[in-house]
């Protein structure tokens, strides 16, 4: 990156010199003779700089891996009912089946340290269970399934125990920025009114701001094993640090699961990583 910044700075510096030189020479009788020669020299230097930039970029891209990943597990929520205006008597949440699927980039930073980021489609949510009390003749218990669909942007730093091209354990720590793009809820309500029991059901779609807040930020942990072929397996745990509940309700997504993926070897520079490791020893 420092080399790229230096080359770009040199390019801008030479361009400024060229402009000033042309301004000066435009007022001299030698302009018509010197201008074509100076322009030709500058064009050669310009092509040289562009060539250097392309070489540096291709070297960086040669080290970048591209992967796909899919996982399944349990999704649940930390849930606490609103404090008002209803007098709640209980509140709990149970897990639903969650999943994620998407693609990512795998960038070596230095010896055994990698950066990963990408885009994933994920399902999160939980079944909320709560009860509330109006008076002696009217009380109810509710089971509400909340199934949310997210676009996730994971950002994590990974430690890999060995050299690329060999089996190695991985350990990752990072964050996930997520945005809810849809989902649905289903409700089953059991109530008693004047000693008469009733059962009510309802279904609704999740739209922007009607059930939860759309944006969420989470802490993300992973641990797994990467095979020499690029196939990997890892467990993951994600815990939201932002509250997506409306009003005074508390809702924070959590997910625990296993994923499998593949990092494509095409374009990976194994010798380059070996050089980095050798230099660090």
Residue 184: helix, strand or coil by DSSP?
strand
Kindly state whether residues 22 and 121 are assigned to the same domain: no
Domain match, 146 and 212 both? yes
Residues sharing a CB contact under 8 Å with residue 238, sequence separation 6 or more, in sequence order: 176, 218, 219, 220, 221, 253, 254, 255, 256
Strands (E), the chain: 65-80, 87-94, 96-110, 113-135, 138-160, 168-193, 196-205, 215-226, 231-240, 250-264
Residues 20 and 103 placed together within one structural domain of the fold:
no
**Is residue 112 located within the same domain as residue 35?**
no
Number of domains observed in the structure of the chain: 2
Lowest mean pLDDT among 10-19, 53-62, 115-124, 187-196: 53-62
Note whether 55 and 161 are same-domain residues: no
Whether residue 132 is found in the same domain as residue 244: yes
- Upper half-sphere CA count for residue 91 (Cβ side, 13 Å): 15
Average pLDDT, the chain: 78
Among 60, 78, 102, the domain-final residue is 60
- Give yes or no for a contact between 157 and 144, defined as CB atoms under 8 angstroms apart: no
Place of tokens 């310009």: 46
Comparing 57 with 69, the larger pLDDT belongs to: 69
In terms of Cα–Cα distance, which of 117, 119, 71, 124 is closest to 96?
Answer: 124
Q: Do 182 and 273 have their domain in common?
A: yes
Stronger pLDDT, 281 or 201, i.e. the higher one? 201
* Mean pLDDT, residues 102-128 taken together: 94
pLDDT at residue 199, as a whole number: 84
Average of per-residue pLDDT across 28-45: 50
Residue 84 has pLDDT above 70, yes or no: no
pLDDT of res. 221: 97
Give the residue with greater pLDDT, 169 vs 141.
169
Regarding whether 162 and 264 lie in a shared domain, the answer is: yes
Q: Residue 85, preceding bond cis, omega within 30 degrees?
A: yes
Indicate whether 269 pLDDT > 50: no
Task: Give the C-alpha separation, 181 to 129, whole Å.
Answer: 24
Tell me: pLDDT of 160 over 90.
Answer: yes
Q: Region 189-216: what's the mean pLDDT?
A: 82
What domain range is 41 assigned to? 2-60
- Residues 105 and 234 placed together within one structural domain of the fold: yes
Domain boundary among 60, 83, 104: 60
189 in the same domain as 204: yes
Residues 241 and 226 in one domain: yes
Nearest residue to 184 via CA among 203, 158, 199, 169: 203
% of the chain residues with pLDDT over 90: 43
Domain closes at, from 28, 60, 92: 60
Instruction: CATH number of the domain at 187, please.
Output: 2.40.160.20
- Residues 199/182, Cβ–Cβ less than 8 Å: no
Band of residue 143 on the pLDDT scale cut at 50, 70, 90: confident
Of the candidates 144, 130, 122, 43, the one whose C-alpha atom is nearest the C-alpha of residue 80 is 130
Burial class (CB in 10 A: 0-12, 13-18, 19+), 195: exposed
* C-alpha triplet 73, 77, 80: angle, nearest 5°: 165
Q: Are residues 44 and 92 in the same domain?
A: no
């Amino acid at each position: 990156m420092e080399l790229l910044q230096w080359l770009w700075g040199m390019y801008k510096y030479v361009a400024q010199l060229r402009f000033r030189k042309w301004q000066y020479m435009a007022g001299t009788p030698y302009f018509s003779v010197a201008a074509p020669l100076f322009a030709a020299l500058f064009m050669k230097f310009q092509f040289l700089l562009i060539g250097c930039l392309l070489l540096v970029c291709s070297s960086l891209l040669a080290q970048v891996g591209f992967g796909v990943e899919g996982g399944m597990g349990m999704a649940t929520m930390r849930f606490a009912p609103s404090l008002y205006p209803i007098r709640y008597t209980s509140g709990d949440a149970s897990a639903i089946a969650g999943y994620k699927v998407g693609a990512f980039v795998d960038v070596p930073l230095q010896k055994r340290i990698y950066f990963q980021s990408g885009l994933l489609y994920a399902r999160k949510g939980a079944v909320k269970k709560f009860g509330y009390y109006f008076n002696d003749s009217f009380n109810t218990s509710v089971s509400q399934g909340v199934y949310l669909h997210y676009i996730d942007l994971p950002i994590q730093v990974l430690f890999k125990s060995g050299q690329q091209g060999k089996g190695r354990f991985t350990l990752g720590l990072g964050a996930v920025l997520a945005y809810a793009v849809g989902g649905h809820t289903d409700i089953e309500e059991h109530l008693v009114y004047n000693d008469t029991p009733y059962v009510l059901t309802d279904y609704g779609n999740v739209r922007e701001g009607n059930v939860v807040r759309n944006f969420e930020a989470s802490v993300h942990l992973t641990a797994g094993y990467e095979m020499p072929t690029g196939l990997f397996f890892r467990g993951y745990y994600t815990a939201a640090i932002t509250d997506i509940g409306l009003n005074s309700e508390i809702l924070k997504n959590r997910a625990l699961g296993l994923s499998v993926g593949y990092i494509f070897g095409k374009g990976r520079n194994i010798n380059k990583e070996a050089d980095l490791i050798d230099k660090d020893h």
